[in-house]
Every structure is written in C-alpha cells, then in structure tokens.
Amino acid sequence: MNICIFSGRIGRDPELRYTNNGDPVLSWSLAVDTGTKAQPATMWLDCSIWGKRAEALQPYLAKGQKITVSGRLAHEEYQAKDGTTKARLRLTADQVELPPRGDAPAQQEPQQQRKPASKTPLADMDDDIPFN
C-alpha cells in the first residue's frame, strides 16, 4: 500500500491545467521541513490533484500557505534540458487539508450568541440510562 501524508508549505502558486482530453489537474510544489533546529533541511515534492477537486481547490491554495496532503508517492527520473538525468518525488494527492481559518474577530460569532460550554462532558447525558 502506498499512502503518504506530508505537511508543509506551498512553494509556488498552484497551476490549473487541462489535459488533451479535458481532465483538470492542479499542480504545485510542497516544501516539507525534514531537518532539526541545529541542521535545518527541506524536502521538495511535486504535488498534483486531478478532477473536480483540482478545480474546486485552486482558488484556496497560494504560495506560502501551510497544508497537509495525503496520497501516493512516486520517485521519477527525467532528462533535464541540459541532458543530465534528474530525479524528483511526485505526490498524487487524494486529500488536501487546509488550515483552519484565522481567528479574526470578524469571523467569530458574537459572544452573546455562543452556546455556553457544559461544565462536564457528561452534563448532556440522560439520567435515565440504566447501568446493570
């Protein structure tokens, strides 16, 4: 089974393209921190997502944004323009998780409209539950 999950920052603005038969594909690079504070290192992945999800996600992704991506990882070799053989990691995404929206006051509910939190997790349970 080939399922990988990576969390990182988008390295370039995602590009939405269409194949010859009209299938949409959204592509971007993902920078994943792999080192330590003493020796920082970054692993770069070429990511893509296909179909309706590609079109739906495109307006929400931008360079520098932190996201979590899960999908199938592949190692690819290709010929560069200078004739040398290069390698890259390609992740075909099945899921993309966006970070929660900011906690800006304009996006929060007014204080008086919020439901008060229960004092205990069991406060909402019925008292009629028999335990025999």
Bigger pLDDT: 118 or 16?
A: 16
User: Hey, what amino acid is at 28?
Assistant: W
Q: What is the mean pLDDT of residues 7-19?
A: 96
d(CA 78, CA 43): 18
Q: What is the mean pLDDT of residues 55-59?
A: 94
Residue-level pLDDT at 100: 80
**CA nearest 25: which of 93, 96, 98?**
93
Residue 1 banded pLDDT, cuts 50, 70, 90:
confident
Residue-wise pLDDT for 84-129, tens only, equals 999 989 999 999 999 887 533 333 343 444 444 444 444 444 455 4
Boundaries of every domain in the chain: 4-97
Q: What is the mean pLDDT of residues 29-56?
A: 94
The answer to whether 51 and 18 are in contact (CB under 8 A) is no
CB atoms within 10 A of CB 96: 20
Tokens 């971007």 locate to 28
Residue-level pLDDT at 35: 85
Could you tell me the two tokens for 81?
A: 């323009």
Which superfamily does CATH assign the domain made up of 4-97 to? Nucleic acid-binding proteins (2.40.50.140)
Q: Kindly list the distances between the CA atom of residue 35 and the CA atoms of 26, 51, 80, 99, 113, in Å, as whole numbers in the listed order.
A: 28, 34, 27, 22, 45
